[in-house]
A and B are shown apart, each in its own frame.
Chain A
Amino acid sequence: MVPTSYYVVLSAILFGLGVFAFIFKRNIITIFMSIELMLNAVNLAFVAFSQALGKLDGQVFVLFVIVVAAAEAAVGLGIIILIARNRETLNVERVDLLKL
């Protein structure tokens, strides 16, 4: 049996990667993917704890996260398409109409 801490460390690494990409990538689709990566890292931690504690709460939570992530993907991709059409770029640096 793999110890729970392995799963948690892996989850933390994945989440850290997601955060890193979320901050440093300029392409909006990459940023979007990094958000998905963070969500799934959290899902992994949920499932690991669920198994370690012998409770189903964590797995139920994961289902909710997947559903919300799907909805978020739909809305997010819609926004991205609109940005791509209007600004003709996917670089977030140039999406700066609100800049002071």
Chain B
Amino acid sequence: MLEYLWIVPLLPLLGSAMNGLFGAKWPNKFVNGAAIGSTGISFLCALEAVREFFDSGQVVFRKEFFTWIAAGNFRAGFDLQMDQLTVVMVLVVTGVGWLIHIYATGYMAHESGYYRFFSYLNLFMFFMLILVLAANYVLLFVGWEGVGLSSYLLIGFYFLKKSAADAGKKAFIVNRIGDFGFMLGMFLLFRAFHTLDFQAIFTSSTLGGWPVELRGHLGTLTFACLLLFMGACGKSAQLPLYVWLPDAMEGPTPVSALIHAATMVTAGVYVVARSHVLFTHAPTAMLVVAIVGCATAFFAATIGLVQTDIKKVLAYSTVSQLGYMFLACGVGAFSAGIFHLMTHAFFKALLFLGAGSVIHAVGGEQDMNRMGGLSKKIPWTFGTMLVATMAIAGIPFFAGFFSKDAILFAAFQSQNGGRVLYTFGLLTALLTSFYMFRLIFLTFRGNQRFDERKVHVHESPWSMLGPLVVLAVLSVVGGWFALPAFFSGPDYFSNFLAPVFGGHESVEAAGEAAVHQLELILAAVAVSAAVIGLAVAWWLYLKKPEKADGLAKSLQPAYTTLLNKYYVDEIYAAVVVKPLLWISTNVLWKGADVAGIDGAVNGIADGAIAIGDGLRHTQSGNTRSYAVWVVVGAIVIIGVIFFWPSAGRPVIGMVH
């Protein structure tokens, strides 16, 4: 299967084409078959390819299928590769993607545009697989832009709803800003290395060594990495480009789970991890990545504290968790970042799917203030969501505990302001635990705050619950790769990724008793932070619900600032959108277009009319005036013949 690796991305494209072209006339069963079948087979093919990869002794597999661009010495091809990092990404994308496809058949069952939804979703799978399998930056960028397109299409799936269409546009435009940086980064890399192939760039560092002007604090590499990171900020919703992700919740919930939680938004983390060779040689860029990640994690978590829309809480939580991943990459713990990427894909997809199941159960309501007491009515959803919440909060032996612990440990040990990063990371962990349990308590416990007679609460069908259960299991066991490390054993996950990230992570390898003890202490601190968050949420929202309102009132300015998301959207509107709109309206539209271009075209037409109007009067219809014109014409011609510099001479000459 490795030799035919192209089949893995191509199958979803086939499914997308089938549904897109013929789905409109098919019954839902056929659409399901094409969508789930293509992604399912793709998942199986990926599994088989991974098995062959292990059989071959984990040698990096790389194959050039065909040349796409060839110009001079430059070549960009449809080259796919498979290494340890790709294994993790491909299995997450196809596996989680497949589960979400199954879920979506239940969730979208009563929606119109059923085939369109699955066509887009499969298209997304295709581009995402291209992104993670690509062996050069150019092909990666194809996938990168493709997932952006699919994201846009799916956010605006309910395109008749203005807010959904606007959210799609917002996501697309904000991503353009990041992609602009990404492309500039690629150009810089091409100028420095004359190639955009991963292998060629990354191995050139170990073979000949890079010239000094590339490295250093203000070298080309620093700028290239910062520009690539700008792209990652757009795609992975980091400060200051995170604003599109919360709005992206306008899309159907399976889309939020697949694209805006589990896979696409982690593409930025993947790119940073994939380019780790470049980043580790650009310490300034690393520091920026760590700071931006940490700041985003904390910032988004504070907004998440007060949101009342169940999906918005999860959206800000996603932004926050992505910040964790970048924090890990920034302090050089790439495998910890990827580890969190994987566990996050499990529990955040589960949380979104669970939220979708809740919304499904209460008939489309998303406001948590109008839920409550649902745990007995939809026990399966409640149970699985509780597991995911414990995983994200970092309760011991759930998946998120291990990955978050690894990140905090790496941040603590970082040389560049590690303690500050660690402190904010820890605070974020506390806030995460608080807002997630707040979500659970508000939604599932306490008093029922909706009218039972109007809302018929019902558990979701098994096509939706099945994926929830599978993901719940993964949210528990997904972190156990790192379990032995807690008993001074090997960390299987980072050992597995070690061939990719190489000796860049010496921290884990130290493995001394003192280091291990420190890790246990930090883990205990993180767990106590999670428990404090849980306890506060329990006290505020279950024990003394009236206290929550009182607290909001006593901290009125802070509360409203958070509720309005620090007014970031308003600031962007004032600083960026309004001036752009003004220039577009007054300069480009009314100035350049209306006055300039339209003016020129209309002016020519008006001129022709005016000249014609003047000449019209020569056609008087009066015979004698025509006679005058004939004479005048004859005189003019004779005058020209006589007085033209050369034309008249021979005639005069003949007279002599």
Contact = CB atoms under 8 A, between A and B. Distances in A.
Contacts of B514: none
B621 A92 contact: no
Contacts of B616: 100
A96 B621 contact: yes
Contacts of B621: 96-100
A99 B622 contact: yes
Interface in A20-58: 22-23, 26, 31, 49, 53
A96 B622 contact: yes
Contacts of B513: none
Nearest to A98: B621
B329 to A, nearest CB: 84
B624 to A, nearest CB: 6
Interface residues of A, number: 16
A22 B626 CA distance: 11
Nearest to A92: B623
Given A23-B624, A92-B624, A93-B624, A100 B631 contact: no
Contact of B619 (A26, A49, A95, A100): A100
Q: Which of B619, B627, B654 has the most CB of A within 10 A?
A: B627
A53 B628 CA distance: 34
Contacts of B623: 92-93, 95-96
A19 interface: yes
Interface in A76-100: 92-93, 95-100
Contacts of B628: 23
B67 interface: no
Contacts of B506: none
Contacts of A100: 616-617, 619-621
B619 A31 contact: no
Contact of B631 (A22, A31, A96): A22
A100 B615 CA distance: 13
Interface residues of B, number: 13
Nearest to A95: B623
Contacts of A99: 620-622
Nearest to B630: A22
Interface in B604-629: 616-617, 619-624, 627-628
A22 B634 CA distance: 13
Contacts of B617: 100
Contacts of B627: 22-23, 31
Nearest to B616: A100
A4 B624 CA distance: 34
B631 A23 contact: yes
A22 B623 CA distance: 11
Q: Which of B621, B622, B623 has the most CB of A within 10 A?
A: B623
B450 to A, nearest CB: 82
A39 B9 CA distance: 91
Nearest to A99: B621
A93 B622 contact: yes
Contacts of B619: 100
B17 to A, nearest CB: 67
A56 B300 CA distance: 107
Nearest to A52: B655
A92 B621 CA distance: 11
B648 to A, nearest CB: 16
Contacts of A26: 624
A53 B651 CA distance: 13
Nearest to B634: A19
Contacts of A93: 622-624
Contacts of B620: 99-100
Interface in B320-367: none
Nearest to A94: B623
B631 A19 contact: yes
Contacts of A96: 621-623
A33 B647 CA distance: 33
A27 to B, nearest CB: 11
A59 to B, nearest CB: 16
Contacts of A4: 655
A53 B620 CA distance: 44
Contacts of A98: 621
Nearest to A25: B624
Contacts of B624: 23, 26, 92-93
Nearest to B619: A100
Interface of B: 616-617, 619-624, 627-628, 631, 654-655
Cβ-closest 3 pairs across A and B:
A99-B621, A98-B621, A92-B623
30 contacts: A4-B655, A19-B631, A22-B627, A22-B631, A23-B624, A23-B627, A23-B628, A26-B624, A31-B627, A49-B654, A49-B655, A53-B654, A92-B623, A92-B624, A93-B622, A93-B623, A93-B624, A95-B623, A96-B621, A96-B623, A97-B621, A98-B621, A99-B620, A99-B621, A99-B622, A100-B616, A100-B617, A100-B619, A100-B620, A100-B621
Given A23-B624, A92-B623, 4 more contacts: A26-B624, A92-B624, A96-B623, A98-B621
